[in-house]
Amino acid sequence: MSGAPFRIPRTRRLMVVISVSVLIAASLAVAFVNEAVHRSETLDVVRVQAGVLAQTVPAALSFDDAQSLAGYVQAVGFDPRVRSVGIYDQSGRLTASYGDAPPSLASDPMVGASSDGFAALAPVIAKGVRLGTVYLTYRPESIDRRFARYFGPAILVVMASMMFLVMGLDARALMGANVELKRQMAEREKVEAALRQSQKMEAVGRLTGGVAHDFNNMLSIVMGSLDLLIGRLEPDREPRLLRLANNAMEGARRAANLTQRLLAFSRRQPLSPASADIASVLAETADLLRRTLGEAILVETVAGAGLWRARIDVPQLESVLVNLGINARDAMPGGGGLTLEASNTHLDAVYAEHEDDVTPGQYVMIAVTDTGVGMTPEVMAQVFEPFFTTKPVGQGTGLGLSQAHGFIKQSGGHIRLHSEVDHGTTVKLYLPRSMEDAPAHTAAIERSADASRRNVTILVVEDEPGVREFTVDALVDLGFDVLASDGADEALRLLGAHPQIRVLLTDVVMPGVSGKALAVEAQRQRRDLIVVFMTGYTPDAIVHNGVLDPGVRLITKPFTVARLGAEMDLVLASRG
């Protein structure tokens, strides 16, 4: 996971190399000079020794005192460095010696420093009378001694070089660690930002969902009552009242639409995902967009062959795509191109790790690309928030993209934005792949509604009196026999007392025993009982991850009388 390999600055490496080189060169030079000095000093010592001996021996040499000469020579020989000593008389004859046999003076012996050692000649003079010659040689310095002499400085040089190297390596490691730390900090910041964003969306979603739920219940009452009112108003006799009622109904529908979108954003709208052919969805949506957006926008679709099927609620997807199309049009006031593109994609673990809330796996990706004005990063950071809009007041609800976001997330997908100012925007929707084949189209059951409704008793359980009354009225209008209860206990009693009840239509969220628990108990007593839930809100009780449990029927509040009738016909038909 390491980032780009970092490099030590060249100057720093160069400095270490130069320092070590200079250190070694300097120490070699010092060693060389030291060696030369040491040799010349040793030679001086040899000369002085020879001179001292020459100063000591004149009398002994002059008087041919071999014993004294031997004594002097022996004394000099105590110095372990002395290899040989020779004392020659006036005629060049060797009169005393020590160590290695000294050469004959006639052979012009070596003097000075050489690899062989050190040698010096000194004349023996007394009162200007040359009495003889002293020849003194030193051994060359032994390897041991030389080593001992250089060991200390050599150790220092080696240690200093090591220190330089270690310092260099330390600096390298430190820089590496620094780079890694910065990278991790950046990564963490990114992840934290994503988490904050996600938490914010979650909080806003929960708030929105709560408000929308209560609002939906009230809208159910309003719309239901208006529905019944409109049904009972005779157009000929009270045209004005009918028009007012229709206006009210239209307003209520729009409010219902809005709450629906809020629920979509908060991922609480009941979805009915099914295996869908995305290519055909794109084609249909493109047709719709071409008609809607006008001729200034060129709409194109690109769908690769062998496109997988996706598991998605198609009407909702279409709604999202239309919303995106409208956004694109608004971003291209002078016209432009809109491309709907679909392809198979695999999001791997590495990608998932860097994105918030993404499951690795196979996806069908839909990219909606426009050639519009694009967005700045600041705008992009906020577009998924509800009621955020860049459009003039009154032109947009600020719910389009947040609805899309909620819907895609609820569907187990993933949404990504790419935008560059002045170049355009791409919205990518990743829809989970479906391994199912196309669902078999069940032939619509065509039956006379009135016939099927006759002698069918429905038990309505709803704690909200307004909703309960409207529902009961609607069902009665539709031709059903209806019993009503405000809670589970009463409902179970009625079920026991009226075996003719065929359908239990119950609210999900109620004080005390929930609709789900009631349904389970009721079906335990009456296996053939048909259960239909009414809800404006889909808690986990009946919906897992926004997907209905198989076999569970659901009618979404607020609903119209016609929709209620259609749903009832459907469940009755499917049970024969």
Partner 1 sequence: MAPVILRARRALKRALARAPALALFAAGITFADSSLETTVKAVDLCKFAPFVDWPPGAIGPPHTPVVLCIVGNDPFGSVLDRAVARQQVGDHPILVRRMTVAPPNPPCQIMFLGGSPTQPIADALRLEQNAPVLTVTDGSNPAGVIDFVVDQGRVRFRIDEAAAAAHGLMIRAQLLNLATSVTPRPRAH
Q: How far, in Å, CA of 135 to CA of 103, rounded?
A: 9
- Between 127 and 291, name the residue whose CB sits nearer to partner 1: 127
Phi, psi of 343 (to 5 degrees): -155, 165
Q: How is residue 283 written in tokens?
A: 């084609």
> Which residues lie near partner 1 (CB under 8 A)?
55-60, 62-66, 68, 91, 126-129, 131
Give the side-chain half-sphere CA count within 13 A for 181.
6
Distance of closest approach, residue 115 Cβ to partner 1, in angstroms: 36
- Between 87 and 331, name the residue whose CB sits nearer to partner 1: 87
Distance of closest approach, residue 127 Cβ to partner 1, in angstroms: 4
Q: How far, in Å, CA of 190 to CA of 184, rounded?
A: 10
CA distances from 277 to 274, 338, 528 (A): 10, 21, 35
- Between 41 and 64, name the residue whose CB sits nearer to partner 1: 64
Distance of closest approach, residue 69 Cβ to partner 1, in angstroms: 10
Distance of closest approach, residue 134 Cβ to partner 1, in angstroms: 13
- Between 63 and 351, name the residue whose CB sits nearer to partner 1: 63
Distance of closest approach, residue 73 Cβ to partner 1, in angstroms: 14
- Between 50 and 262, name the residue whose CB sits nearer to partner 1: 50
Q: How is residue 291 written in tokens?
A: 């008609």
Show Cβ contacts of residue 193 under 8 Å, excluding neighbours closer than 6 positions: none
Q: How far, in Å, CA of 85 to CA of 67, rounded?
A: 15
- Between 90 and 275, name the residue whose CB sits nearer to partner 1: 90
Report which of 386, 371, 344 is spatially closest to residue 426, judged by C-alpha positions: 371
What is the residue whose two structure tokens read 């025993």?
Answer: 513
Q: How far, in Å, CA of 470 to CA of 561, rounded?
A: 9
Give the side-chain half-sphere CA count within 13 A for 123.
9
Distance of closest approach, residue 151 Cβ to partner 1, in angstroms: 43
Q: How far, in Å, CA of 37 to CA of 42, rounded?
A: 8
Q: How far, in Å, CA of 380 to CA of 389, rounded?
A: 11
- Between 68 and 104, name the residue whose CB sits nearer to partner 1: 68
- Between 126 and 229, name the residue whose CB sits nearer to partner 1: 126
Q: Do 415 and 408 form a contact (C-beta atoms < 8 A)?
A: yes
Distance of closest approach, residue 63 Cβ to partner 1, in angstroms: 6
Q: How far, in Å, CA of 290 to CA of 19, rounded?
A: 74
Distance of closest approach, residue 49 Cβ to partner 1, in angstroms: 17
Q: Do 87 and 62 form a contact (C-beta atoms < 8 A)?
A: no
| DSSP category for residue 106 | G
Radius of gyration from C-alpha coordinates of the chain? 52
- Between 65 and 356, name the residue whose CB sits nearer to partner 1: 65
Distance of closest approach, residue 94 Cβ to partner 1, in angstroms: 12
**SS3 at position 362:** strand
Distance of closest approach, residue 95 Cβ to partner 1, in angstroms: 9
- Between 29 and 129, name the residue whose CB sits nearer to partner 1: 129
